[in-house]
Structure 1
Amino acid sequence: MRARGITRTVELPDAAPLHILRGVDLDVHVGDHLSIMGRSGSGKSTLLNILGLLDAPTDGDLEFDGVPLQRMSAGRRDRTRGRNVGFVFQQFNLLPRRTALENVEMPLMYDGGRGFWRRRALASEMLDRVGLGDRLQQTPERLSGGEQQRVAIARALVRSPRLILADEPTGALDVDTGATIMDLLDDIATQAGAALITITHDPHVAARAQRAFRLADGVLHETVPVLEPAASAPAAAGAGA
């Protein structure tokens, strides 16, 4: 993917236009692992939606496999996204009252090829790959937060996308579960040769990437992530009591 001068402006009825992105440049290559940090409201999710072909920029040039976005019809853009892009969201977005297997099958329902006919086998294989081979028939409310995120990852990857976009994938999880989820995402992306872009507030998650960026004032800057040293544990109150 190649992005040059990407802007996103929202016209407001009774105020000046809101400039969310102000000329973003980015190249994403096969096998890349990128992280993007930024304050809440800085436009990270907006940028992710544009890179994932869910939204179009106000201005600028975006290419996927050398094909400019401007030359893609809406149908071709949807097909390109469906075949090549997998999304992992913070809130999981699983369908209630549907089993883990049915949730992971869902993207394959729109596959016009062999994926449609093999959807149950492919979904089962992917759930087994993320460690949920024994939880296929469980609905989301019967799964832990970490298990729900694994189902969401399996759903995102069941069509073997070339680009994985993860929007705060550990934000709703505890530290240990979040680390396990990131290990899983890293491993699967590496094995598949897919590019992975992670949006995060967590510097530890950002530091896992090969290349790190910060979005500030609508502009994307490449950075070197620096982790703060862990705070010393406070002395226990009433020690020896």
Structure 2
Amino acid sequence: MSELLRLTDVTRTVKLPDDTDLHILTGVDLTVSTGDHIGIIGRSGTGKSTLLNLLGLLDRPTTGTLAWAGHDTRTLRARAAAHIRGRDVGFVFQQFNLLPGRTALENVAAPLMYAPGSAFWKRREIAATMLERVGLGARLDSMPESLSGGEQQRVAIARAIVRGPKIVLADEPTGALDLETGAEVMSLLDGITHETGAALITITHDVAVAAMARQRFRLEGGRLHSLVDVPA
């Protein structure tokens, strides 16, 4: 396995309107390699979204080091970070975030609008293959509003993996689904990333979702604490 991300003593502090500092992350250490499945559990307000933004290169640490493939991201220009994010990071969100007025096929093909070479010209074919892979080959022309919650999340998964990312970040991916559908979606997401060798990082408040990961952490007090067993 090759190392993809390494966070060393990463902090994130924001300035409040009254000019005081809010310390969200106070010293996060994490190593992510190809094929990892990491579950991060935490209550609302513990900094899960802040950590996700850092992992997805949407934000930068206040202090500490975040290295991508061995390169310190503090040296990256915004354009270079956006290039890595678009090429190597897939996002799956709780609310699906599908484009309204666009078919399932068009939603999955959207990231390939910026792909180089043949991937751009074959984007509809590639998108169709991805939808087949998540069990929606018969719903290519369906609009999001005609799909169930589980189907919409499957479209979102297909969109996240269509460019072959190295890391998939799932932010409360089952939060809008019932228990049975959520379990099916997580099993699908875990299986697809395992097949492709992508690392999967799931950030959740759901202990059942976190328990599916092979490495598990609790985010508390601005730090990650390793868990052998996920508490009920």
Same fold (TM over 0.5): yes
Give SS of 1:97's match: coil
Distance in 2 between residues matched to 1:15 and 1:38, nearest whole Å: 27
2:194 corresponds, among 190, 213, 237, to 190
Report how many aligned residue pairs link the two structures. 228
Residue type at the aligned position of 1:26: L
Identical amino acids, percent of aligned pairs: 63
Distance in 1 between residues matched to 2:54 and 2:117, nearest whole Å: 27
Post-superposition offset of 1:15: 5.0
RMSD (Å), alpha carbons: 1.0
Other-structure match for 2:224: 220
Where in structure 1 are there 5+ consecutive unaligned residues? 229-241
Partners of 1:203 and 1:225 within 8 A in 2: no
Partners of 1:130 and 1:154 within 8 A in 2: yes
Where in structure 2 are there 5+ consecutive unaligned residues? none
Post-superposition offset of 1:13: 2.2
Other-structure match for 2:174: 170
Other-structure match for 1:58: 62
Residue type at the aligned position of 2:93: F
Structure 1 residue runs of 4 or more that deviate by more than 4 Å after TM superposition: none
Asked if 1:37 is matched to 2:37, the reply is no
Partners of 1:204 and 1:227 within 8 A in 2: no
Distance in 1 between residues matched to 2:41 and 2:213, nearest whole Å: 11
Other-structure match for 1:142: 146
Partners of 1:107 and 1:159 within 8 A in 2: yes
Partners of 2:216 and 2:228 within 8 A in 1: yes
Other-structure match for 1:233: none
Residue type at the aligned position of 2:90: G
Change in 2 beyond 3 A, CA 1:128/1:209: same
Asked if 1:73 is matched to 2:73, the reply is no
Other-structure match for 1:100: 104
Give SS of 2:186's match: helix
Give SS of 2:226's match: strand
Other-structure match for 1:201: 205
How does the TM-score come out when normalised to structure 2?
0.96
Residue type at the aligned position of 1:127: L
Post-superposition offset of 1:86: 0.3
Distance in 1 between residues matched to 2:66 and 2:185, nearest whole Å: 30
Residue type at the aligned position of 2:97: N
